[in-house]
C-alpha cells in the first residue's frame, strides 16, 4: 500500500510534467552570461500565450551550447512564479 509520502511525490512529479508546455520557435538571441534566450514562438494554447517574441530564462544554460541565432527549436516552458522558464530546448 502506498504511503502518503509516495503519493505526494507522485502527484508533485505529475503536476510538474503537466506544467511544462512544449512549443516551437526560432532563436533570436542567446545570452549565456545571463542564462537567457530570446525566442520568436507560435501560440502556446495551454499557457494562453499568443505568438510573440519573448526572452526566457533557461533553467540549465548548458542547453544553449550548440544553438545559434536563426535556429528552429522545440522547447518546453513552465511558469515559475511570475516568470516563464525554458526547461528543455533543442534544435528541430
More confident site: 65 or 8: 65
What is the count of structural domains for the chain?
Answer: 1
> Residue 38: which domain range?
21-91
28 found inside a domain: yes
The mean predicted confidence, pLDDT, of the chain is: 87
16 found inside a domain: no
Distances from the Cα of 40 to the Cα of 11, 17, 92, angstroms: 33, 23, 14
pLDDT in tens, 56-83: 999 999 999 999 999 999 999 998 999 9
50 found inside a domain: yes
CATH number at residue 85: 2.40.50.320
Alpha carbon distance, N-terminus to C-terminus of the chain: 43
C-alpha cell recorded at residue 17:
510534467
Amino acid at each position: 500500500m502506498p504511503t502518503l509520502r509516495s503519493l505526494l511525490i507522485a502527484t508533485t512529479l505529475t503536476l510538474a510534467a503537466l506544467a511544462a508546455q512544449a512549443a516551437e520557435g526560432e532563436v533570436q538571441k542567446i545570452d549565456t552570461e545571463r542564462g537567457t534566450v530570446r525566442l520568436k514562438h507560435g501560440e502556446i494554447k495551454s499557457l494562453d500565450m499568443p505568438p510573440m517574441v519573448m526572452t526566457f530564462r533557461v533553467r540549465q544554460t548548458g542547453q544553449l551550447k550548440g544553438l545559434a541565432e536563426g535556429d528552429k527549436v522545440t522547447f518546453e516552458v513552465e511558469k515559475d512564479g511570475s516568470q516563464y522558464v525554458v526547461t528543455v530546448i533543442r534544435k528541430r
